[in-house]
Amino acid sequence: MKYKVGQEWNYQTRKREENSTLKILKIEEYPKHGKVIHISIGNLKVKNPNSKDGIAKEFTHIPISEKALNESVTNLKNEKVKLPDYMDGYSYWKKEFEQGVAGVFSISVSEIVDGMEESIVSGQGVVE
């Protein structure tokens, strides 16, 4: 498997976020979903009316399918980096996932960022 916990990857970013990277937080295998890769995405410029400067710079926990991640990453930037604290987000997701309420993203990382931004701006999601 090409992904390992602690890696930092470059990916096909949105136009104004060329310095954004993602980090591999956790890798799990599920019978119905296959490999689920948990990532954080940093160096973002996501509009967020709830933050002090109006911008969210990081998403600390995103569950994504291996296929969608494969289609998003461009090259490995670092083999081992410090990971953000993601356990609160992961624990919440895991509980919701086991209840059948939460899922796994199967779209590109840049599409995830677009969708999250849209949700935050519309007031349907909050990221601080």
Q: In this model, does residue 1 exceed pLDDT 80? A: no
* pLDDT at position 119 over 80: yes
* 1 belongs to a structural domain: no
Residue 127 belongs to some domain of the structure: no
Give the long-range contacts of residues 91-96, CB within 8 A, separation 24 or more: 93/61, 93/63
State the number of CA atoms in the 13 A half-sphere of 79 facing the CB: 0
Q: Residue 126: inside a domain, yes or no?
A: no
Is 91 inside a domain boundary? yes
Average of pLDDT values for 27-35?
A: 94
Query: Is the sign of the CA dihedral 96, 81, 85, 57 positive or negative?
Result: negative
pLDDT digits (tens, 9 = 90+) for 33-69: 899 999 999 999 999 988 889 999 999 999 999 999 9
As for how many domains the chain has, the answer is: 1
Q: What is the pTM of this model?
A: 0.92
| pLDDT at residue 126 in the model | 47
61 found inside a domain:
yes
Q: Find all residues with CB under 8 Å of 43, minimum gap 6, and list them.
A: 17, 19, 20, 21, 57, 58
Structural domain span for residue 82:
8-121
